[in-house]
């Protein structure tokens, strides 16, 4: 579904004959953005993107954060502010490709700036040689079956065409090649929220609403000791003054990004905090005492549906940290009625 994943087969007939792709994860710093797809996959992808739109609409309607980092141009499309189509905008979905396009644009500018006649002949020849060395044709990078002009797979990109090529790549990658997919997401959202419901938001607002308070389990300010301590509810043997609760707050504030996501998955079922951090969790994070003999030998457990953390009365912060990390890293796939 997403740009940056492994390339689909070049020929539509081959693509249609391929078995289902093996499930895999895709991580992109820029966020997720639809990919152009061969005609043979159009119906399949339409269904997927429409379902994605329904998921987005349902999550927003229910006030749920998704672990779904969408690229800014996709959020801009959904909010009616789809203005990204220039070569420089490619950086919003693919920073590496954007740097390559910048080199190509510079090549075209140097060719265009060369004086006419004999005075600029050497500069133009050097630019043409550089363009030839790039071995570019008029297809979309990463999608050799997608021609940017008729017969593009067999047509080389000359130095004089470099700027036009870069502009065509941006236009097709950001808009023309994915317009159907973007409309399908929009239709799916409209089925739940109604047409145009997201136009009241700015693109970055929508990004934050869907992804929660930033990556790595939430924005940094949500993981400060004061923010955590002010949001935690203590019951059944613990109070805010309990040494174990104070140690827990300190340990949570010291977790790195991966550990934060693991803790949230363990306790809430989602690796991200909602907007507003711990204070916005529904139900609230509740810490209760887990009465066991020899507490330092036992792991904490949780009731994810109620966001209950069942914490033994550990004797020190070091033990609490070690047992908590063991639980969230090794026990998050375990289910028990305790």
Q: Report yes or no on 338 lying in a domain.
A: no
Q: What is the pLDDT of residue 77?
A: 93
Tokens 């908590």 belong to residue = 324
Q: What H or E segment, with its residue span, contains residue 82?
A: none
Last residue in a domain, options 186, 211, 236: 211
For the residues of 184-222, what is the DSSP string, one character each?
Answer: HHHHHHHHHH-TTGGGGS-HHHHHHHHH-SSSTTS-GGG
Q: Which residues 6+ apart lie within 8 Å of 154 measured at CB?
A: 137
Q: How confident is the model at residue 12 (pLDDT cuts 50, 70, 90)?
A: very low
Average pLDDT, the chain: 86
Q: Are 178 and 259 contained in the same domain? A: no
Q: Report yes or no on 273 lying in a domain.
A: yes
Q: Report yes or no on 308 lying in a domain.
A: yes
Tokens found for residue 144? 């050799």
Q: What does each C-alpha distance from 71 to 112, 180, 293 come to in angstroms?
A: 34, 17, 50
Q: Are 155 and 276 contained in the same domain? A: no
Q: Report yes or no on 182 lying in a domain.
A: yes
CA of residue 219 relative to chain centroid, distance: 15
Last residue in a domain, options 151, 177, 211: 211
Helices (H), 79-196: 95-113, 121-134, 162-171, 179-193
pLDDT tens digit sequence for 156-197:
999 888 999 999 999 999 999 999 999 999 999 999 999 999
Q: Are strands 308-312 and 286-290 parallel, antiparallel or unpaired?
A: parallel
Q: What is the pLDDT of residue 335?
A: 56
The residue that leads in pLDDT, 187 or 205, is 187
Last residue in a domain, options 182, 211, 240: 211
Q: 159 — phi, psi (to 5°)? A: -60, -40
What's the CA dihedral at 20, 22, 25, 27 to 10 degrees? -70
Q: What does each C-alpha distance from 4 to 8, 69, 76, 84, 98 come to in angstroms?
A: 11, 14, 19, 18, 13
Q: Are 202 and 227 contained in the same domain? A: no
Q: Are 38 and 180 contained in the same domain? A: yes
Range of the domain at 59: 1-211
Which CATH number characterizes residue 300's domain?
Answer: 3.30.2410.10
Q: Are 125 and 11 contained in the same domain? A: yes
2 neighbors 35 (Cβ within 8 angstroms)? yes
Q: Are 103 and 18 contained in the same domain? A: yes
Q: In what order do the strands lie in the sheet with 301-303?
A: 233-235, 286-290, 308-312, 301-303
Q: What does each C-alpha distance from 324 to 146, 208, 217, 219, 274 come to in angstroms?
A: 50, 29, 16, 21, 22
Q: What is the pLDDT of residue 15?
A: 42
- The number of distinct structural domains making up the chain is 2
Q: What is the pLDDT of residue 24?
A: 66
Q: Report yes or no on 337 lying in a domain.
A: no
Q: Are 203 and 231 contained in the same domain? A: no
Lowest mean pLDDT of 9-13, 91-95, 211-215, name the range.
9-13
Q: Report yes or no on 336 lying in a domain.
A: no
pLDDT tens digit sequence for 70-93:
999 999 999 998 787 788 899 999
Q: Report yes or no on 51 lying in a domain.
A: yes
Residue 148 has pLDDT above 80, yes or no: yes
101 neighbors 141 (Cβ within 8 angstroms)? no
Q: How confident is the model at residue 217 (pLDDT cuts 50, 70, 90)?
A: low
Q: Are 170 and 201 contained in the same domain? A: yes
What value does the mean pLDDT take over residues 11-32?
58
For residue 34, what is the DSSP state?
B
The residues carrying an active-site annotation are 305
Q: Are 132 and 232 contained in the same domain? A: no
Q: Are 188 and 322 contained in the same domain? A: no
Q: Report yes or no on 71 lying in a domain.
A: yes
Q: How confident is the model at residue 26 (pLDDT cuts 50, 70, 90)?
A: confident
Residue 214 has pLDDT above 70, yes or no: no
Q: Are 317 and 188 contained in the same domain? A: no
> How long a stretch of residues is the chain?
338
Q: CA angle at residue 217 from 211 to 219, to 5 degrees?
A: 80
Q: Are 235 and 200 contained in the same domain? A: no
Q: What does each C-alpha distance from 321 to 54, 246, 312 come to in angstroms?
A: 40, 12, 12
242 neighbors 315 (Cβ within 8 angstroms)? no
Tokens found for residue 18? 């391929």
């Amino acid at each position: 579904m997403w740009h940056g994943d492994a390339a689909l087969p070049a020929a539509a007939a081959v693509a249609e004959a391929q078995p289902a792709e093996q499930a895999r994860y895709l991580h992109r710093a820029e966020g997720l953005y639809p990919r152009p797809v061969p005609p043979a996959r159009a119906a399949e992808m339409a269904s997927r993107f429409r379902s994605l739109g329904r998921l987005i609409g349902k999550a927003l309607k229910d006030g749920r954060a998704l672990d779904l980092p969408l690229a800014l141009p996709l959020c801009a499309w959904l909010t009616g502010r789809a203005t990204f189509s220039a070569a420089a905008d490619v950086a919003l979905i693919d920073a590496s490709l954007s740097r390559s396009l910048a080199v190509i644009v510079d090549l075209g500018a140097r060719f265009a700036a060369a004086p006419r006649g004999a005075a600029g002949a050497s500069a133009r020849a050097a630019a043409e040689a550089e363009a030839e060395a790039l071995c570019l044709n008029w297809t979309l990078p990463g999608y050799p079956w997608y021609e940017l002009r008729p017969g593009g797979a067999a047509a080389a990109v000359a130095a004089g065409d470099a700027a036009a090529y870069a502009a065509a790549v941006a236009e097709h990658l950001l808009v023309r090649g994915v317009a159907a997919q973007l409309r399908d997401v929009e239709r799916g959202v409209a089925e739940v929220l109604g047409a145009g419901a997201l136009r009241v938001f700015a693109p970055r607002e929508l990004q934050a609403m869907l992804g929660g308070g930033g990556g790595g389990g939430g924005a940094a300010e949500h993981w400060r000791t004061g923010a955590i301590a002010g949001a935690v509810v203590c019951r059944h043997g613990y109070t805010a003054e309990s040494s174990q609760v104070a140690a827990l707050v300190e340990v949570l504030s010291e977790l790195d990004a991966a550990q934060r996501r693991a803790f949230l998955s363990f306790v809430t079922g989602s690796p991200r905090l909602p907007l507003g951090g711990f204070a916005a969790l529904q139900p609230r994070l509740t810490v209760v005492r887990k009465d066991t003999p020899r507490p330092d030998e036992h792991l904490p457990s949780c009731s994810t549906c109620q966001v209950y953390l069942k914490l033994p009365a550990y004797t020190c912060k070091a033990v609490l940290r070690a047992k908590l990390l063991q639980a969230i890293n090794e026990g998050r796939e375990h289910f028990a009625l305790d």
